[in-house]
Structure 1
Amino acid sequence: MLFLQKSIPPVSFSLIESISPEDLQPTVKICVDSLSSSSVAVKRLAAAKLRLLAKNRSDNRALIGESGAIPALIPLLRCTDPWTQEHAVTALLNLSLLNDNKPLIANTEAVKSLIYVVKTGTEVSKQNAACALLSLALVDENKASIGACGAIPPLVSLLINGSNRGKKDALTTLYKLCSMKANKKRAVSAGVVKPLVELVAGETGVGMAEKAMVVLSSLAAIEEGKTAIVEEGGIMALVEVIEDGTSVKGKEFAVVTLLQVCEEGVYSGRNRGLLVGEGTVTGPFL
């Protein structure tokens, strides 16, 4: 059995994997009890062990979820020690991969704390917090509460300022959240369209450009989104994709988005004129 103490060596994944089934439950209990320790080092180690135990096995995730670990991990998302915060958010991400655990993590306090990590954490913590929000957003009823709790502006910030992986995680999470109209409006208000257009126009790799176009297509379904796409130079960027892009899917997404921008609406005539002004793609849109 593994025991927690202040002067314990770094967590070993091989050591964690070697825990026998009969020792797993008492080990998890020790970890959960240690999450409320007055020692940051003890809490950090407990969160790290739970993170590893929940990494690959769904039965471990179930046992940890049933043990009361989730409400004990949530306060650590606001820990001033960055490594404790990182272990806690990654443990929650791993636990959220089990559907039965999602409702335990989807309460307002937990969602707001995950958003706090997206704002304040290490690069890895921000990425894993975004992924945890994505995992929760796979349940439709969670999308509204995640958006209402303020997740979208920090995700947009991560999309702009994050590492390549951070950008991808933010983009995927925004796509999932923006299937709701209220979240589309929040995303446009948070300034998401400009970085999306830049990703479409930039040399960021086919995968990122395609994902950006999927989100733009979603935002083009609302009038605010159409307006922002036009104002940020989206028509030119999308036409260039159709003309010069190498990805068939990318071209298809660009066409769909342009069709939406030019659909009947307050500025549809102006938008069609701008598209014709590009001097290339005209037939399908007139």
Structure 2
Amino acid sequence: MDADIDQLRPTYGATETAEKPVCDMESNGSDQVIQELGRPKNSSTSSAAAVPKGSETEHIDSNKSTEENKKLDSSVIPDDFKCPISLELMRDPVIVATGQTYERSYIQRWIDCGNTTCPKTQQKLENLKLTPNYALRSLISQWCTKHNIEQPTAITNGRIKKSDGSFRDVSGDIAAIEAIVQKLSSRSVEERRAAVAEIRSLSKRSTDNRILIAEAGAIPILVNLLTCEDNQTQEHAVTSILNLSIFDNNKGLIMLAGAVPSIVQILRSGSMEARENAAATIFSLSLVDENKIIIGASGAITALVELLEHGSPRGRKDAATALFNLCIYQGNKGRAVRAGIIASLLKMLTDASSGMIDEALTILSVLAGHHDAKVAIVKASTIPVLIDLLRTGLPRNKENAAAILLCLCKRDPDNLACLSRLGAVIPLSELARNGTERAKRKATSLLEHLRKSQQQVPQQQHH
């Protein structure tokens, strides 16, 4: 691994909780929280700008992807011009047996993975023939011309489009990569291991390589290698998939190839390096909101909580980031609670040497609004720990602690009484005067709830 990996890791800061379910998230809902972890606010799924923690990528290709997408963002793409799989403007539309149209590379990968149904209709394909949709291609071309938009081009006649609009000849690269991809299926363990190590290295270097490797059909083969008995091959395969996932289009291909169950198995029983990179891959894939649901249902959360508690320092960081991202989706919060995440987070809060206080508070801030999580947090005697952080924590820790306490205590007389009994009024008053703007709001609101609660007690006693 490169020495500069940590520079690419998201940093934890104060967060607002995201309560909306994935399917109903507003653009600001999850972005505000993810932005605190290093993801740009206006990039709902852009992993080029938010490289996964464990990624070996030496630099972030955000400028490139921004320039390529700027023109498309300025115009609303008609739904009929988008591939149903990638939801992106099609450059080579083809028709399948059911009459549905897809981008050729995406539907071809779908078929290559052994699927014989139409992704959109779920009908069985009577044949696997792909017929070019010239009429639609012409309409897309006319639309692009009208809106002064160049048609999206990944690879055309051995050339790949650069961010400045020019093209680079990659025909030699294509041939070399295709030769390496063929070796991934070799019967020789040594040859397979060498080939996947080379794919790992190439996928680390550039976006162009990530495109070319995927176009060469490597992803389904790499997914098969995730279950390889050779530890080195498995480590190289999961890290290759991590690096490939940085390019947004590849996320869909990785999901279509059925990678998640094998990634989860590595999380459970792989080498520590493989587990670290499996967790980082889960984080990368979960940047797409729909994937949060699929990953959450796969058993990944239990495996991530285990890594959070017993992993290496880096593995724990990777697990925390993946869990935070998954728990933005409401349906995954209960899964995390049932997996025992609250006890793990409390240990992180009370062990300063763990270096995980920021991560623990960030995850708790997302969970605290969920009923089951709230019950578990209170039952674990977390409130005294949070009050202590109000007194002694860093400004961002105080801010998150106040936000969590507000979630736990508003409209809850028992928890408010506990706050008062444990002497929270003094540190809350201090925070309301001298905290960050958000901390002041949370502390002031908590103090108001405490005041109202104390006013109600004498009235109840009087009656």
Q: TM-score, normalised by structure 2?
A: 0.55
* Partner residue in 2 for 1:68: 217
Q: Distance in 1 between matches of 2:304 and 2:353?
A: 18
Q: Give the superposition deviation at 1:24.
A: 2.0
Contact 2:220–2:257 (Cα < 8 Å) also in 1: no
Residues 174-212 of structure 1 deviation map (CA, whole Å, 9 limit, x = unaligned): 000000111000000000011111112211466x21121
- 2:289 equivalent among 140, 156, 159: 140
* Partner residue in 1 for 2:275: 126
Residues 101-153 of structure 1 deviation map (CA, whole Å, 9 limit, x = unaligned): 00011237211111111111111100101111100011111100000111100
Residues 184-242 of structure 1 deviation map (CA, whole Å, 9 limit, x = unaligned): 00000000011111112211466x21121011011111111111111112111111111
What is the identity, as a one-letter code, of the residue corresponding to 2:376? A
1:44-55 mapped onto 2 (5 Å cutoff): 44-55=193-204
Q: Give the superposition deviation at 1:92.
A: 0.3
* Partner residue in 1 for 2:377: 229
Are 2:397 and 1:274 equivalent residues in the alignment?
Answer: no
Residues 146-167 of structure 1 deviation map (CA, whole Å, 9 limit, x = unaligned): 0011110000000000011101
1:248-263 mapped onto 2 (5 Å cutoff): 248-263=395-410
Structure 1: stretches of 5+ with no match in the other structure: 1-19
Hey, which of these two has a bigger chunk of helix by percent?
Answer: 1
Q: Distance in 1 between matches of 2:319 and 2:205?
A: 23
Q: Distance in 1 between matches of 2:257 and 2:265?
A: 12
- 1:105 equivalent among 251, 254, 258: 254
Q: Distance in 1 between matches of 2:176 and 2:381?
A: 56
* Partner residue in 1 for 2:241: 92
Q: Distance in 2 between matches of 1:30 and 1:37?
A: 11
Q: Give the superposition deviation at 1:22.
A: 4.7
What is the identity, as a one-letter code, of the residue corresponding to 1:239? I
Are 2:187 and 1:33 equivalent residues in the alignment?
Answer: no
1:204-243 mapped onto 2 (5 Å cutoff): 204=353, 208-243=356-391
Q: Distance in 2 between matches of 1:112 and 1:59?
A: 28
Structure 2: stretches of 5+ with no match in the other structure: 1-168, 429-445, 451-463
Q: Distance in 2 between matches of 1:71 and 1:131?
A: 19
Q: Distance in 2 between matches of 1:172 and 1:145?
A: 17
Are 2:343 and 1:194 equivalent residues in the alignment?
Answer: yes
Q: Distance in 2 between matches of 1:32 and 1:56?
A: 17
1:115-194 mapped onto 2 (5 Å cutoff): 115-194=264-343
Larger radius of gyration: 2
What is the identity, as a one-letter code, of the residue corresponding to 1:223? H
Where 2:205 maps in the other structure, the secondary structure is: coil
Instruction: State percent identity of aligned pairs.
Output: 42
Of 22-31 and 233-242, deviating more is: 22-31
Of 76-85 and 33-42, deviating more is: 33-42
Runs of 4+ in 1 over 6 A off after TM superposition: none
* Partner residue in 1 for 2:33: none
Q: Distance in 2 between matches of 1:201 and 1:166?
A: 19
Q: TM-score, normalised by structure 1?
A: 0.88
Q: Distance in 2 between matches of 1:148 and 1:117?
A: 16
What is the identity, as a one-letter code, of the residue corresponding to 1:277? R
Give the RMSD, CA atoms, in angstroms: 1.6
Q: Distance in 2 between matches of 1:45 and 1:278?
A: 60
Q: Distance in 2 between matches of 1:49 and 1:112?
A: 24
Of 105-114 and 210-219, deviating more is: 105-114
What is the identity, as a one-letter code, of the residue corresponding to 1:194? A
Contact 1:108–1:149 (Cα < 8 Å) also in 2: no
Q: Distance in 2 between matches of 1:79 and 1:22?
A: 31
Where 2:290 maps in the other structure, the secondary structure is: helix
Q: Distance in 1 between matches of 2:255 and 2:395?
A: 37
